[in-house]
Amino acid sequence: MKQVSVIVSVMLAGLIPIFASCESNKPESPAVKTSAPVAVPATETALMAIAGSPGQAANDEGISQYKNGKMEAAIEGFQKAAKADPKSGEAQYNLGLSFDQMGKHAEAAAAFKQATALAPTNLIIKDSAIAKKHTS
């Protein structure tokens, strides 16, 4: 009988971390117009530059800053990427995402329009709900 109670105790102890991690999945509201970190919706992921693109390193840095919620630094990185590779729809799309996070909707709309023009066959850009929201 003692063995059964030990086994049950061990099993229950193993379930505690599972139940403790079952918190609400309610997303955090992003801060607006600040360089402080903000929560970035998972569905709006910044896009990687095409391998070998002249703006790849700057775009990668922008993505890192974007993921950390540092929108002003992300914008700087994406602007450098767009300058290094003016044909990068991904850099423009990423700018649009970052501007949107900061509440700069006119700039976001312009970036999303440019992204769509530069990469009309990129389905992620073409079908992006946030881009459509700014360009429709």
Domains in the chain (CATH in brackets) are: 34-135 (1.25.40.10)
DSSP state of 66: H
Distance CA 120, CA 113 (A): 10
- With b for 16 or more beta-carbon neighbours within 10 A and e for fewer, the 5-18 pattern comes to eeeeeeeeeeeeee
Question: Which residues 6+ apart lie within 8 Å of 68 measured at CB?
Answer: 37
Distance CA 14, CA 46 (A): 37
22-70: pLDDT as tens digits:
444 434 433 333 344 545 444 579 999 999 999 999 999 999 999 999 9
Q: Minimal CA–CA distance to 118: which of 41, 42, 53?
A: 53
94-123: pLDDT as tens digits:
999 999 999 999 999 999 999 999 999 999
